[in-house]
């Protein structure tokens, strides 16, 4: 018996899009321990939202199942719902409603007493900085204000597990940093497990303790950001020389120091991607000096998760976002084959 | 499992959930009652611009014509206002707040029934306003008949509202489809209800279609009720039509929301 708060077993989701079966998520199997901060990272259409929607009981899986907060998503959806918070991609508050009213309604939806709802709403208004617009209707709020309300709504019932679907999309850097501060504070104070999707590399890199890289419906890597980068990418070293001839000779010298492939880069440069780049760089410069080749320029660039994604899939996240997006992740009006609604 | 043994099973309570959904839906109406005036535009236009024509055409005194016309306008409030209420749900499906309520531990049926029941509040407020506006022009309503008439409108409105929500769920984020269907239905239903002009002079086929239009039965019942003819047979048929529509609407709506994801 493990203490996992999410235990997904073979979750698979197929949609029918224009009479063609599209597998949005394939055989998703993983566990998340209590208190973890996990990010699903991947391009648009990778299946991140579909996975989240299955885990939050919004759509039933085509096959496989999961236990979330101890309950089966198919057999006990109401018990799952009572114990999770969910911040979707869109706006959680109804545009016609006032901010504070929505928080109070949300409290009653989760069985909280009026008093408890009021206390909790005021607490969240304070901590998420909603006071200046608490009596305004949602449609009057800015994007950042709406997003803070979304998070407040997701936290009304103090869930032990919070799902966030692309929480910072559309926010300016300042609002994004603020939002993250709130999420991190929340974890520090209450030990809340946070599970989010993002296609922002820096976000996953900086905040998530564990990154699950998703592409075309599958999790293709699952580790800490640091280990993913060390194992799958590495620092990119680039050395510049005075002539193409020198660069040509340099390739063999640098190659003798590493088992990674040394490439010619442009006219008079060579580059290599290696996990121990910071140590390789000075030794390469010394070895080239000894061989009578003068290094004119040297740069070492630490890897990003984009390099990890590139190493795993052969394309960058940006390329995947532009070209690889399948309609499967946003099955708007095409879910007709899933007649088994996620009802209780 | 070790972490879950202390959690009791969630207690499903559709009645309580419906109440919570209903009170949430009422909040914007209470916060800003003037929004009720905007959805009254069409009935007010018909009252202000059509009733005078009717009075001139019929040659009978204004009060008498209004006695015939105003009950139809009350049904029109339901047709235009409540019939369009699905667009609110559709909007919330598009903006995201409907999804948030689907993740909450609310019974699925309460999400629809609570919304449909909320329609009663604007119907009653708007009907009383129309009656008050018509009174200075000679319209008179039997007090008991008015109370029963409002109850009849409420039941009819819950049914029509539920059907409007069903349409919203069926058309999902295709707003044009919702309005297309809604606008296509609304005018034939209105004309074939005898709301604007008597159907006595209509050709036989029109009267045959009108006979199965529940709106027609509700209009006739309203006329009888506001005139104080509480024991009239048309009142009974009006109730049968309204209750049947409410049952069909709620059944279809609950089914639609259970199937939607």
Which residues, listed in sequence order, are joined to residue A238 by a DSSP beta bridge?
A271, A299
Averaged confidence pLDDT in chain B: 90
User: Which residues on A lie below 8 Å from B24 (Cβ)?
Assistant: 97, 101-102, 105, 108
B6 inside domain: no
User: CB-based contacts of B58: which residues, under 8 Å, 6+ apart?
Assistant: B65
B105 vs A111: CB contact, 8 Å cut-off? Answer: yes
Check residue B42 and give its pLDDT.
85
- Judged by CB atoms closer than 8 Å, whether chains meet at A56 and B9 is answered as no
Residues B106, A294: Cα–Cα separation, whole Å: 72
Give, for all 344 residues of chain A, the pLDDT tens digit: 457 999 999 999 998 888 888 889 999 999 999 999 999 998 888 899 999 999 999 999 999 999 999 999 999 999 999 999 999 999 999 999 999 999 999 999 999 999 999 999 999 998 888 999 999 999 999 888 999 999 999 999 999 999 999 988 877 888 888 888 888 888 888 889 999 998 888 888 888 899 999 999 999 989 988 888 888 888 889 999 999 999 999 999 999 988 888 888 888 999 998 888 888 999 999 999 999 999 999 998 888 888 888 888 888 887 887 764 444 444 443 333 333 333 33
Longest dimension (CA), chain B: 82
Could you report the predicted ipTM of this complex, rounded to two decimals?
A: 0.87
B3 within some domain: no
- Determine the distance in angstroms separating the CA of A118 from the nearest CA of chain B, rounded to an integer: 15
Q: CA dist A34 to A125, A193, A206, B92, B202, Å?
A: 27, 6, 20, 33, 72
Distance CA A322, CA A209 (A): 27
Cβ neighbours of residue B205 closer than 8 Å, sequence gap 6 or more = none
B36-54 per-position pLDDT tens digit = 888 888 889 989 999 889 8
In a domain, A258, yes or no: yes
Assigned domain for A343 exists: no
Looking at the structure, tell me whether residues A215 and A188 fall in a common domain: yes
As a whole number of angstroms, the distance between CA B178 and CA B159 comes to 17
Residue contact A105–B27, C-beta within 8 A: yes
Q: Are B145 and B65 in contact (CB under 8 A)?
A: no
Q: Residue written as tokens 């024509």?
A: B53
Whether residue A340 is contained in a domain is answered as no
Contact A93 B3 (CB under 8 A): no
pLDDT tens sequence across B194-213? 998 888 889 999 999 999 99
Structural domain boundaries enclosing A50: 4-229+313-329
Domain count, chain B: 1
CATH of the domain at A101: 3.40.50.300
B66/chain A closest Cα distance in angstroms = 36
Give a yes or no: residue A342 inside a domain.
no
Amino acid A275: pLDDT: 82
**Which two structure tokens, joined as six digits, stand for A220?**
């293709």
List the single residue in A34, A91, A109 with the smallest CB-CB distance to B96: A91
Give domain status of residue B1, yes or no. no
> Is residue A339 a part of any domain in this protein?
no
**Considering the domain boundaries, does residue B209 fall inside one?**
yes
Closest CB from B3, B105, B259 relative to A82: B105
A239 belongs to a structural domain = yes
DSSP string across A60-128: --SEEEEEETTEETTT-HHHHHHHEEEE-SS--S-TTSBHHHHHHHHHHHTT--HHHHHHHHHHHHHHT
Looking at the DSSP bridge assignments, the partners of residue A4 are: A33
Cβ separation B259–A339 shorter than 8 A: yes
CA distance B51 to A314: 73
CB contact under 8 A, B104 and A81: yes
Sign of the C-alpha dihedral computed for residues A304, A309, A315 and A317 taken in this order? negative
**Residue A92 and residue A149 in one domain:** yes
Residue B4 domain flag? no
Same domain, A63 and A94: yes
Per the domain annotation, does A138 fall within a domain?
A: yes
Same domain, residue pair A267 and A148? no
Q: What mean pLDDT is predicted for residues B243-250?
A: 96
pLDDT value for A203:
85
Q: List Cα–Cα distances, B200 to A109, A166, B58, B82, B147, in angstroms.
A: 51, 61, 14, 28, 28
Same domain membership, residue A84 and residue A23: yes
- Min Cα distance B178 → chain A (Å) is 14
In a domain, residue B243? The reply is yes
Nearest CA in chain A to B2: A1
Contact A70 B1 (CB under 8 A): yes
Specify if B9 maps to a domain: no
3-class SS of residue A5: strand
Paired sense of beta strands A4-17 and A63-68, if any: antiparallel
Out of B2, B9, B95, the one facing A79 most closely (by C-beta) is B9
Q: Do A1 and B31 touch (CB under 8 A)?
A: no
SS3 sequence of B61-118: CHHHHHHHHHHHHHHHHHHHCHHHCHHHHHHHHHHCHHHHHHHCCCCHHHHHHHHHHH
Best of B4, B8, B10, B38 to substitute, by most chain A Cβ atoms within 10 angstroms, is B10
Residues A74 and A195 in one domain: yes
* Whether A220 and A255 share a structural domain: no
DSSP string, A198-224: E--HHHHHHH-SEEEEEETTEEEEEE-
**What are B240's two structure tokens?**
């049968």
| pLDDT per position as a tens digit, B57-66 | 888 888 889 9
A213 and A261 inside one domain:
no
Radius of gyration of chain B (CA): 20
Domain residue limits at B216 = 14-259
Say yes or no: A225 and A245 in one domain. no
Residues of chain B found within 8 Å of residue A106, distances taken between Cβ atoms:
100, 104
Q: What CATH number did the domain enclosing A240 receive? A: 3.30.70.1710
If asked whether residues A26 and A46 sit together in one domain, one would say yes
Residue B2 lies in a domain: no
Structural domain total, chain A: 2
Mean pLDDT of B118-143: 93
Closest CA to B158 of B29, B37, B222, B247: B247
Sequence-separated (6 or more) residues with CB below 8 Å from residue B255: none
Q: Does A199 lie in the same domain as A81?
A: yes
Residue A308 domain flag: no
């Amino acid at each position: 018996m493990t203490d996992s708060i999410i235990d997904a077993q073979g979750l698979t989701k197929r949609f029918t899009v224009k009479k063609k079966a599209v597998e949005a998520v394939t055989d998703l199997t993983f566990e998340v321990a209590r208190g973890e901060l996990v990010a699903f990272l991947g391009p648009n259409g990778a299946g991140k939202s579909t996975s989240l929607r299955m885990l939050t009981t919004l759509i039933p899986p085509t096959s496989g199942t999961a236990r979330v907060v101890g309950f089966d998503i198919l057999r006990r959806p109401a018990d799952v719902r009572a114990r999770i918070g969910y911040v979707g991609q869109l706006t959680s508050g109804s545009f016609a409603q006032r901010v504070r009213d929505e928080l109070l309604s949300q409290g009653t939806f989760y069985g909280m007493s009026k008093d408890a709802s009021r206390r909790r709403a005021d607490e969240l208004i304070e901590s998420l900085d909603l006071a200046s617009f608490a009596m305004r209707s949602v449609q009057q709020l800015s994007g950042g204000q709406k997003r803070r309300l979304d998070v407040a709504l997701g936290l009304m019932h103090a869930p032990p597990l919070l799902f966030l679907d692309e929480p910072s999309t559309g926010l300016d850097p300042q609002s994004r940093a603020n939002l993250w501060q709130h999420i991190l504070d929340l974890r520090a104070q209450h030990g809340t497990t946070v599970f989010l999707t993002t296609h922002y590399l820096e976000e996953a890199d900086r905040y998530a303790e564990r990154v699950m890289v998703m592409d075309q419906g599958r999790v293709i890597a699952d580790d800490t950001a640091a280990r993913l980068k060390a194992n799958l990418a590495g620092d990119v070293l680039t050395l510049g020389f005075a002539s193409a001839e020198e660069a040509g000779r340099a390739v063999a010298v640098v190659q003798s120091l590493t088992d990674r492939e040394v490439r010619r880069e442009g006219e008079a440069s060579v580059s290599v991607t290696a996990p121990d780049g910071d140590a390789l760089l000075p030794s390469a410069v010394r070895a080239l000096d000894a061989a009578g080749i003068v290094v004119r320029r040297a740069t070492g660039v630490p890897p990003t998760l984009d390099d990890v994604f590139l190493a795993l899939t052969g394309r960058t996240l940006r390329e995947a976002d532009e070209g690889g997006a399948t309609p499967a992740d946003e099955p708007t009006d095409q879910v007709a084959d899933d007649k088994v609604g996620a009802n209780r | 499992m070790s972490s879950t043994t202390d959690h009791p099973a969630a207690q499903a309570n559709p009645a309580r959930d419906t109440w919570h959904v209903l009170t949430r839906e009422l909040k914007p109406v209470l916060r800003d009652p003037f929004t009720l005036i905007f959805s009254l535009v069409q009935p007010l236009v018909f009252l202000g611009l059509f009733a005078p024509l009717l009075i001139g055409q019929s040659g009978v005194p204004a009060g008498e014509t209004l006695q015939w016309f105003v009950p139809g306008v009350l049904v029109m409030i339901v047709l235009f206002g409540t019939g369009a209420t699905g667009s609110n749900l559709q909007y919330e499906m598009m903006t995201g707040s409907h999804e948030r309520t689907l993740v909450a531990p609310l019974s699925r049926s309460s999400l629809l029934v609570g919304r449909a029941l909320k329609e009663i509040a604007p119907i009653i407020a708007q009907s009383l306003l129309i009656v008050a506006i018509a009174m200075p022009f000679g319209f008179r309503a039997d007090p008991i008949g008015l109370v029963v008439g409002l109850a009849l409108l409420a039941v009819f409105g819950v049914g029509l509202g539920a059907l409007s929500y069903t349409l919203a769920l069926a058309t999902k984020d295709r707003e044009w489809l919702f309005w297309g269907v809604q606008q296509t239905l609304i005018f034939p239903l209105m004309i074939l209800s005898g709301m604007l002009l008597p159907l006595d002079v209509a050709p036989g086929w029109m009267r045959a279609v009108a006979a199965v239009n529940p709106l027609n039965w509700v209009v006739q019942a309203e006329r009888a009720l506001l005139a104080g003819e509480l024991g009239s047979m048309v009142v009974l048929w009006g109730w049968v039509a309204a209750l049947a529509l409410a049952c069909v609407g709620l059944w279809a709506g609950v089914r639609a929301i259970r199937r939607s994801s």
